[in-house]
Amino acid sequence: MSATSGPGGLTCARILQRHGISAAVYDRDAGPHARDQGGSLDLHADDGQAALREAGLLEEFFRLARPEGQEMRQMDPDGGLLFHHVPEEGELFTPEIDRGRLRDLLLDSLEPGTVRWGRTLRAVGGPAGGPRRLHFADGGTVEADLVVGADGAWSAVRRAVSPAAPRYTGVSFLEARFHGADTRHPDVAALVGRGSAGAADGKRGLFAQRNGGDHIRVSIIQRVPTDWIAAAGLALQDTEGIRALLLERFRDWSPDLLRLITDNDGPYADRPIFALPVPHVAEHDPAVALLGDAAHLMPPLGVGANLAMLDACELALALVRHGTVGEAVRAYERTMVPRSTETARRLDGAVHDLLSAELPDFAAGGG
């Protein structure tokens, strides 16, 4: 089996290896620390943690995770506190972990040589039903009886079984980063607390999240065209120009909240939000399986990594339990497709709720 990496691909490879099934993981990065892996995520007890339990890594995850990261604050644009959740002692339903630490945990669990670095996948060839052939940017090819597409939003594997492409949701995140938060940005650190803090006014929003290593990431959320920075005559590297534009757009907000826009270290990062059409059902191919964002890209509302890891766990166990690869893929899809379709329908358009001035459902005990 050949898999492309990400939390889902690594989880799948780990569980397969625990059951004596060989797996190779191909990653376009030059090495495990070639780029920033992104911010913090929470792994849920009934999906992400369940997958780590099957991978034999749950206790190590709890050692690395930050239960205090479950703290959540919701404010109004004036800085008034609307809702504050403080996790109870021993609460472990959705502890936070940095994406980089989770990736390292999974990488370290794999057999040496499992991950083949510096391999950018361009296309998947070969006949439907297999064997399939992976075509890499360096001109190399690899034949596999099963190709697992865990290669994210712009999946090259997906193109072998589906013409669907992600569509812009109309909402964009601009990321601001704060380093040495407790010492260099104490006011921001106090505002965010040990977990996350958010505010919105119906047109725009801010979401700040504590990461490990005394870092904080802030998403400045707007309903804008994808080219909104260029349309303003700016470039992404023009930090001061973008900051001035944002201050004008958020001019009525509390000075304390405006620090999340003005006090960041280094340039902003532009992250327009894309999602796959709903429903997305790829053509069945017994030699190709999709998981995570490759199968069901949704807005970043706390489900992506968890669903990817649950997909990975169920696919790996299907391969262990069924007599042929084709039977395993079919069994996996019978569970994954309806589950992801139901979740995608529920979240379709929900990214706009991040801009709502109404208190989110979590304040009333909702999901």
- The DSSP secondary structure of 325-336, one letter per residue, reads HHHHHHHHHHHH
Sign of the dihedral through C-alpha 97, 101, 104, 108: negative
Runs of H (alpha helix) within 94-165: 99-109
Q: Which token pair is 256? A: 């304390």
Is 166 within 8 Å of 154 (Cβ atoms)? yes
pLDDT for res 366: 35
CA distances from 116 to 23, 26, 105, 200, 333 (A): 11, 5, 17, 43, 27
Is 66 within 8 Å of 156 (Cβ atoms)? no
Distance in angstroms (rounded) separating the CA atoms of residues 312 and 87: 29
What is the CA 141 to chain-centroid distance, rounded? 29
Is 316 within 8 Å of 15 (Cβ atoms)? yes
Distance in angstroms (rounded) separating the CA atoms of residues 212 and 40: 8
pLDDT for res 363: 39
pLDDT for res 362: 44
CATH 3.50.50.60, the chain: domain bounds: 2-69+92-166+276-350
pLDDT for res 2: 58
pLDDT for res 5: 63
CATH 3.30.9.30, the chain: domain bounds: 168-274
Give the global pTM.
0.93
Distance in angstroms (rounded) separating the CA atoms of residues 59 and 75: 34
pLDDT for res 364: 36
Question: pLDDT of the chain along its 367 residues, tens only?
Answer: 656 668 999 999 999 999 999 999 999 998 888 777 778 899 999 999 999 999 999 999 999 999 999 999 999 999 999 999 999 887 888 899 999 999 999 999 999 999 999 999 999 999 999 999 999 999 999 999 999 999 999 999 999 999 999 999 999 999 999 999 999 999 999 999 999 999 999 999 999 999 999 999 999 999 999 999 999 999 999 999 999 999 999 999 999 999 999 999 999 999 999 999 999 999 999 999 999 999 999 999 889 999 999 999 999 999 999 999 999 999 999 999 999 999 999 999 999 999 998 866 543 333 3
Distance in angstroms (rounded) separating the CA atoms of residues 72 and 86: 7
The hierarchical CATH code for the domain 2-69+92-166+276-350 is 3.50.50.60
- Which residue do the tokens 């609460």 mark? 91
Class of domain 168-274: alpha beta
Torsion angle, alpha carbons of 113, 117, 120, 124, to 10: 10
pLDDT for res 360: 60
